[in-house]
Amino acid sequence: MAENSNGMNRRKFLTVLGVTGGGAAALSGCSSDSVEKLIPYLVPPENQVPGVATWYASTCRECPAGCGLHVRVREGRAVKVEGNPDHPVNAGRLCARGQASLQGLYNPDRVRQPLSRTADGKFEPIAWEDAIAQVAERLGGSPSDGVRFLTGHEAGSFDRLVDEWLAAFGSRGRVAFEPLGYEALRHANRTVFGIDGLARHDFAAADYVLSFGADFLDTWLSPVEHARGFGARHGYRDGHMGRYVHVEPRLSMTAMSADEWVAPRPGSEGLLALSVAHVIVRDGLASTPADVHRVRPLLDRHVPETVAAETGVPADTVARLAREFTAGPSVALAGGMGIQHAAAHVTAAAVNLLNYVAGNVGRTVRFEGTPTGRPAPYSRLVELTSDMKGGAVRALFMHGANPVHGTPPGLGFRDAMQAVPFKVSFARFMDETAQACDLVLPDHDPLEQWNDFETRPGVHALQQPVMQPVFDTRATGDVLLQVTARVGGPASARLTVTSFKDYLQRSWAALQARVGDRRPFATFWTEALQRGGVWREPSTQRVTLAASAGSLEGSSTWRLPEGRLALIAYPSSALYDGRGANRPWLQELPDPVTKTTWTTWVEIHPETGAELGIAEGDVVEIASDMATIRAQAYLYPGLRRDTVAVPMGQGHTAFGRYAEGRGANVLHLLDAEPTAFGGVATYTGVTLRATGEHAPLPKTEGKPRQMGRGIAQMVTLEELARGEGHGEHGAHAAPVPERIEEILDHWQEGQDEATKYGAYEGEHPRWGMAVDLSRCTGCSACVTACYAENNIATVGPESVRRGREMSWLRIERYFEGGENGEPFEARVLPMLCQQCGSAPCETVCPVFAAYHTPDGLNGQIYNRCVGTRYCSNNCPYKVRYFNWFDYQEPADPTFAWPEPLHWLLNPDVTVRSKGVMEKCTFCVQRIRDKQNQAKLEDRDRLADGEVLTACQQTCPSDAIVFGDLNDPNSRVSALARETRGYHALGELNTRPAVTYLKKVRNLVEG
């Protein structure tokens, strides 16, 4: 491919790399000469062999969960990130946002050098030394508290350095603001247990999960870790599985995995939790701790029968939940932002009590001491803003926070910034906040810098630079130290180190002492770098009820104002709070629930939509007391009728080409006034109005229901126990007489025999995959991993509207029920090329671009493809994707990898040019790579599990297993033999190599 591209191919990739590797950090980008040049390194870089990947361990900083990373580096460039298998948090898995961290590194809209604002308000480049001198000059002079430093959530050396640095200038004005700060949970933990921190939830130990709005598989706390544990325990295995009940007015992506969905009146979840606790205590269902008597009065007020009126949940349901909850190891969760209404702290506290009375605290809910670096609540930001407005702030430094976009405009942060005479941003991207600053001193990307991060107590993770910086940026830690050095005097006396790496190593030397390691520091350090950090098993705190526990005012629920609809502003599972909005992979990642991309939508119940005359795609005005925004309607049966939901993350006015001007910022609708627990209430009352405008939603879903076609199949645990695993399928499958079956088998054998010529002679593996739908949560991490591994182009919203997205692997989401009183249910199914044994696509290709490889893959030879698209017509699964435009041509408007984004292209995978068909081939480049390695080691066969496809590798819940179906002992063939196994559209006799294992729902008996 890429014949006529100038610079987007593998070879050029090697070429220019040589230059940068040699130290001349000029990214010549796409403008390379027409003559092919080979440029060797001047001096050989460490550990680098051209053509061979090097892996570095680091830490993901895309959200506060802090998963461990392995970064694949080729010729000095990071080309893929994967989870670190040794890491205690994610054990090798990663979510979509983590996978997309590369697009932060190579983002074309990064601030490429320090910028200074000129008199006319524009930014112009400035030399680093001048910039540092400018900061030093402003800070010099007498120490004062007028220096403020706003950071995101940091937990480690950088966190300490900022505090020390501020202290050196006589200030204690540090605010660590994390938009998803879980203020309600922290408040509740303080109130109920007297603990200032967050608990860790052990899903792998909980047979029963009762979530009150916690989207623990999308964004809540540490989703990858949760998915891993949840997949292990809730996934069906040998007749057992957990049960998960979700309580929330909206069925979130997480809730799609639930066995039962309870939708109480918005704002009343706390009452429900208390009434469940009431039943437990009343009926003595669990051996409750002795100090529960302190909260007895509170619990006694929440009799299910009386609460039912408030919550809309029948009393017998509550009683049943209480019985189920106490039947075995269980855990209850309270939502972060998902139920963060004004009474969210009550809900969280109620859930704490529920866990406590059921005896879960200390078992599935563990407090493990206080981690370093705690985000301040939103209310601190409010204080900072008022200080700024009041003129108390002389200089404001900002790192890793974008409060202008990430807070309700009512806060007035942007205006407050006007009152600050000197504002410095360390932003990597020109976001809304950086735009309002005087100096922008771009930080390194997390993959370019030294740092550490204490994900949770006991998990000390390291970040190391995996490559030369892409741009003329500097690590903020270094810049801070350079500023103090420049200022000199007492400030520099307090901070004597010269570089942030030294500072980091000092704190790690201290850590080495703490963990009692007596080896030389260099050994400890190297080993930690290789592993990705140092982990210790933390001790579990003993927890008792605090004195304030009983003071919880149970009736303080959030009430929906009359005549309004409840709006839920929830964090987007792809864009998080909006920080992912400049990553095209995440923008184009279909939302797991609505399958919409690139924009903001408002979820409305179909009946509500019908009442208001709103159809899908209609532009709707959403008005709250604060403001009005516009979004396109998506009719979603997974909502209460009195509730609408809008995701966060869009509506950027800055932040680069991929983020700007898309959708609306739902935070505009929210009240800036902090709630009782110090956070922003993400529930509010709104009214909807259809504007009369209409546009098709840029969504990847065709029809939301599977028309009884049995593509995503489900079986109940009860049916499985009765041996009915073969399940719901067979709309028209009449039994085939045995004789006919024999004849068909015989015929098939003859057919197979007639294919054994040339390369097909002899023994070959048959690569296959098993996808366990009882584990798949629809989180879509695999989708982004596939984009990253296979150089898949992003196409933009206009093309998505035309169904032209290229995602080789897509998560299909089908709705079931929800009508005529049936319970609503959503199923997900990863759909990728099924590598059919009798592939309909292959026969129709006139030029053998699609053909069957000896090892059972549907080979797709891009350079042979003429582009008749017949294969795609004939593919029942619709998993072939056509290059409608030249996504790899820099001169074209559809160019998908503007410089330097093309550095993330996998050099082992051809970048496809316009007019050719492309598709999943089970990561054939990985298979061939391992086969080559094995051959060099004189092995003829690959071991089971030696090849991991990109999707399998990243799957947080371990739903995907890949291997050789011809090997009866492989994991995949064992799974393929399971009773739950079925082939999608198997009746077409395509003989797929992908076996789906039916989703299992653990329904209540009776």
Q: Tokens 């976009």 belong to which residue? A: 405
In whole angstroms, give the CA distance from residue 480 to residue 159: 12
CB of 857 to another protein, least distance (A): 7
Q: Which is nearer to another protein, 48 or 556 (CB)?
A: 48
Q: How far is the CB of 415 from another protein (least distance, A)?
A: 44
Query: What values do phi and psi take at 739, rounded to 5?
Result: -60, -45
Measured from the CB of residue 384, what is the shortest distance to another protein in angstroms?
A: 47
Rounded to a whole number of angstroms, the minimum distance from the CB of residue 863 to another protein is 4
Q: Quick one: 241 or 904, whose CB is closer to another protein?
A: 904
Decide if 770 contacts 965 (C-beta within 8 A): no
Nearer to another protein, 835 or 1002 (CB): 835
Distance from C-alpha of 330 to C-alpha of 325, rounded to nearest angstrom = 6
Neighbours of 737 (CB within 10 A): 9
Q: Where are the alpha helices (DSSP H) in 223-343?
A: 223-234, 269-283, 296-300, 304-311, 315-325
**129/858 Cα distance (integer angstroms):** 57
* CA atoms 689, 694, 700, 704: torsion sign: positive
Residues 6+ apart with CB under 8 A from 92: 70, 82, 83, 84, 85, 953
Query: Residue 683: enclosing H or E segment and its boundaries?
Result: strand 683-694
CA contacts within 13 A on the Cβ side of 915:
8
Query: Quick one: 307 or 833, whose CB is closer to another protein?
Result: 833
Secondary structure class of 411 (helix, strand, coil) = helix
CB of 893 to another protein, least distance (A): 8
**Residue nearer to another protein on the CB measure, 63 or 792:** 792
Inter-CA distances, 752 with 116, 746, 755, 853, 976, Å: 70, 10, 5, 13, 21
Smaller CB distance to another protein: residue 402 or 858?
858
In whole angstroms, how close is the CB of 924 to another protein at the nearest point? Answer: 5
Q: How far is the CB of 783 from another protein (least distance, A)?
A: 14
Residue (87 or 912) nearer to another protein, CB: 912
Is 916 buried (19+), middle (13-18) or exposed (0-12) by CB count in 10 A?
Answer: buried
Measured CA to CA, the distance from residue 570 to residue 645 in angstroms comes to 7
Q: Select 8 or 361, whichever has its Cβ closest to another protein.
A: 8
State in angstroms the smallest separation of the CB of 869 from another protein.
Answer: 4
Q: Minimum CB separation from another protein for residue 961, in Å?
A: 22
CB of 244 to another protein, least distance (A): 24
* Integer Cα distance of 372 and 457 in angstroms: 8
Nearest-approach distance from CB 759 to another protein, in angstroms: 5
**8/910 Cα distance (integer angstroms):** 10
What 3-state DSSP class applies to 150?
Answer: strand
Q: Is the dihedral of CA 270, 233, 81, 965 positive or negative?
A: negative
What is the C-alpha separation between 246 and 815, in angstroms, rounded? Answer: 17
* H/E stretch holding 787: helix 781-790
Vertex 95 angle, CA 94 and 96, to 5°? 125
Neighbours of 225 (CB within 10 A): 27
Q: Work out how close the CB of 895 gets to another protein at its nearest, in angstroms, rounded to a whole number.
A: 12
Task: Say how many C-beta atoms besides its own lie within 10 A of residue 392's C-beta.
Answer: 16
Nearer to another protein, 452 or 964 (CB): 964
Joined tokens for residue 513: 């002492």
Give the nearest distance from C-beta 707 to another protein in angstroms: 5
Q: Which pair of tokens denotes residue 441?
A: 């001193």
Nearest-angstrom CA–CA distance, 107 and 103: 5
Nearer to another protein, 328 or 846 (CB): 846
- Is residue 996 within 8 A of residue 843, CB to CB? The reply is no
- Smallest gap from Cβ 790 to another protein, in A, equals 10
Beta carbon nearer to another protein, 49 or 513: 49
Q: Which is nearer to another protein, 436 or 785 (CB)?
A: 785
Nearer to another protein, 390 or 867 (CB): 867
Dihedral of alpha carbons 409, 415, 416, 417, sign: positive
We find the least distance from the C-beta atom of residue 828 to another protein, in angstroms, to be 10
Q: Find out whether 799 and 805 touch, Cβ atoms under 8 Å.
A: yes
- Shortest separation between residue 844's beta carbon and another protein, angstroms: 5
Spatial distance between the Cα atoms of 636 and 614, rounded to a whole number of angstroms = 12
Closest CA to 59 of 586, 573, 533, 579: 533
Give, for 953, the enclosing helix (H) or strand (E).
helix 950-954
Q: Find the length of the chain.
A: 1006
Give the 3-state DSSP-derived string for 168-194, with helices as H, strands as E and coil as C: HCCCCEEEEECCCCCHHHHHHHHHHHC
Amino acid at 421: P
Report the residue number, 9 or 573, with the smaller CB distance to another protein.
9
Comparing CB distances to another protein, the nearer of 100 and 771 is 771
When the beta carbons of 54 and 952 are compared against another protein, the nearer one is 54
Rounded to a whole number of angstroms, the minimum distance from the CB of residue 72 to another protein is: 15
Name which of 53 and 392 has its Cβ closer to another protein. Answer: 53
Q: Which helix (H) or strand (E) holds 843?
A: helix 840-844
Cα angle, residue 49 at apex, residues 48 and 55 outer, rounded to 5° = 50
